[in-house]
Amino acid sequence: MSVDWIREFCLSLPHATEQVQWGDHLVFKIGGLKMFAIVALHPDGNRMSLKTSPERFAELTEIPGVVPAPYAARNFWVALERWDVLRRTEIEDLVREGYALVFAKLPKKAQAELSSKSTVKRVSAKKKAVPKKRAVAKKRPSRK
């Protein structure tokens, strides 16, 4: 597992954006607004941090190699010390869960704007139907 596959996976989620922050961390956000995952670009320290629910946080931090994320544990973020701590499918599920938790906490206006953008993209991505020509009503001669 590597940064490339998690990057590809995170960017496949709706409205996901990425940016480099803190010098050497790839941060994934929803619509550029709120973080849902962080990946270290350097080989030292934690490999990845992500948002979890309080219940999952308690479960995950009991696994060796999964620790409370520095500076973000109070908001139920966990950090993976190595890529092989969890299976790839488990990491993908955690990223999806974190994405959903963060999206639900966005302001309703931001959620609506992002949802409307995805609707517009879906409609424009479909092949546009050619509008049927409407029969033009003939003008009736006026009776005087």
Long-range contacts from 84-87, C-beta under 8 angstroms, 24+ separation: 84/1
Q: Is residue 57 part of a domain?
A: yes
Q: Is residue 59 part of a domain?
A: yes
Q: Is residue 27 part of a domain?
A: yes
Q: Is residue 119 part of a domain?
A: no
pLDDT computed for residue 40 by the predictor: 85
Q: Give the list of residues 6+ apart from residue 24 with CB closer than 8 angstroms, or none.
A: 40, 41, 42
The residue range of the domain holding 94 is 3-109
Q: How many domains does the chain have?
A: 1
Q: List the CATH number of the domain containing 41.
A: 3.90.1150.30
Question: If DSSP codes are grouped into helix, strand and coil, which group holds residue 110?
Answer: helix
**Over the stretch 64-86, which tens digit does the pLDDT of each residue have?**
999 998 877 788 899 998 888 89
Of the two residues 87 and 118, the one the predictor is more confident about is: 87
Q: How many CB atoms lie within 10 A of CB 43?
A: 6
Q: Is residue 137 part of a domain?
A: no
Confidence band (pLDDT; 50, 70, 90) for 125? Answer: very low
Q: Is residue 28 part of a domain?
A: yes
Q: Is residue 143 part of a domain?
A: no
**Over the stretch 15-51, which tens digit does the pLDDT of each residue have?**
888 888 888 888 998 887 788 898 888 777 778 889 9
Q: Is residue 140 part of a domain?
A: no
**Over the stretch 92-123, which tens digit does the pLDDT of each residue have?**
999 999 988 888 888 788 888 887 765 444 43
pLDDT computed for residue 64 by the predictor: 93
